[in-house]
Amino acid sequence: MKNILVAVTGASPQVLTETLYGLHTQGKAFPDEMYVITTQDSKEMLMDGLYTRGHLQALYDEYQLPAVKFDESHIWVIEDEDGNLLHDAKREEDQSVMADFITRKVAWLTEQDDCVIHASIAGGRKTMAFYMGYAMSLLGREQDTLSHVFVNDEFEFVRDFYFPTLKDNWITGKKPGETLNTKDAEITFAEIPFVRMRKSLSNDLIGQIDQASFSKTVAKMNAANQKLSVKVSMNAKTLSVLGIDIKLTPKEIAFYQWLLQQPNRSILADRVFTDNKQHSINYLDIYTQVGDDPRVLTGTFGIENTIAWKEGDIAMLKTMEVEFIQPIRSSVNSKLKNALPIDVLEKVKIQSKKQKGIATYWIEPELILICD
């Protein structure tokens, strides 16, 4: 059986050499092959520390270790479905990309019958570590393991420290004028027990994980144990379905909430509807709680600004047109589609039907609404 180490890293590539050191000193199976999941910015630090400055080879030489199969092709830079690389994973939208990528890579590794996976969550952003741990819990097999490594405080985040040495080796510490002897460093290697859910998943679901998003996988699992409901949070501007929070714009969240408040959660966008300014008033009552975009207030509804709205200046108020409704429906449904399995999507999305040129829009009345 081939032993494979897979790790997430960020600004501290040292976690790789520290993990290899921990596996060796704890008598664990030493990896034959290694993969790293990281961002584009962190890859440069990884290559510099391990190869340009030679710390990986130095570890092998210091402890007479066999070289692990590991080259640049084993460094997986997180990318979205369009192939765009993540540079630092700081943005909110990066988190779902990161989750999808890590889950798919762990799915691919655990599909190989001839290997044992050891996953490290010691590096990377906290969300990266969480997604790695979750993916292992979801897909890890009996033979697979998970670990973390710690180094004593004075050596943590020290640029030139990569592993404890057998002989004296003095490096610059974190404090001005401070020097540290890497021989004195202590690495704590902690193997982490985790719940293995793989056997409780259907083969169909496991087979779909490589194509499905992280959120869709979570939703599918939660769907088996929860009644379908939607929570509308105006403060967070999210729809929450089966444990998945789906971020919407103020215009979108206000429209979804407004539609839920209509009789039977439905509107018939005929001439009577588009001539009735009360619909605009009711919508703006909700929208102005969370948004003040001039394109909505002035461009769509003819309101100068939120101050004018609050003062009741609605002389120039425009009615709600289908040209306003349809793009919102499309954008909301697109975000729901990206986050939810198709069978859940169909019960949560904004439905529409056109007859004789007149559109009806609705949200399924059976959907349970949870108030924020």
pLDDT in tens, 275-311: 999 999 999 999 999 999 999 999 999 999 989 898 9
DSSP designation for 297: I
The model's pLDDT over 50-76, given as tens digits with 9 standing for 90+, comes to: 999 999 999 999 999 999 999 999 999
Encoded tokens for 354: 């056109």
Confidence (pLDDT) at 338 = 85
Task: Give me the long-range contacts of 178-185 (CB less than 8 A, separation at least 24).
Answer: 180/154, 180/155, 182/155, 185/151, 185/152, 185/155, 185/161
Distances (CA, A) of 293 to 104, 257, 296, 328, 338: 38, 18, 5, 15, 25
Q: What angle do CA 222, 266, 292 make, to 5 degrees?
A: 85
pLDDT at 209 over 80: no
Which alpha helices (DSSP H) does the chain contain, by range?
14-25, 40-47, 55-63, 92-110, 126-139, 203-209, 214-223, 250-260, 271-274, 278-287, 294, 306-310, 322-339, 342-348
pLDDT of residue 90: 78
Residue, of 200 and 137, whose pLDDT is higher: 137
Report the pLDDT value the prediction gives residue 183, as an integer from 0 to 100. 96
Q: What percent of the chain has pLDDT over 90?
A: 72
Give CB contacts under 8 A, 24+ apart, made by 283-290: 283/254, 283/255, 283/258, 283/320, 284/309, 286/234, 286/254, 286/257, 286/258, 287/250, 287/251, 287/254, 289/234, 289/254, 290/234, 290/235, 290/237, 290/250, 290/253, 290/254
Q: What is the pLDDT of residue 122?
A: 93
What pLDDT is stored for residue 339 in this prediction?
Answer: 85
Mean pLDDT of all residues in 249-274 = 96
* pTM as predicted: 0.75
User: How high is the pLDDT of residue 59?
Assistant: 97
Q: What is the pLDDT of residue 208?
A: 63
Region of 54 please: left (phi>0), alpha (psi -120 to 50) or beta. Answer: left
Mean pLDDT to the nearest integer, 254-283: 96
Three-state SS for 123? coil
Both tokens of 352, joined, read 């529409």
| pLDDT exceeds 80 at position 95 | yes
Alpha-carbon distance 124 to 187, whole Å? 18
- Contact between residue 26 and residue 188 where contact means Cβ atoms under 8 Å apart: no
* Least confident piece of the model among 78-87, 179-188, 357-366: 78-87
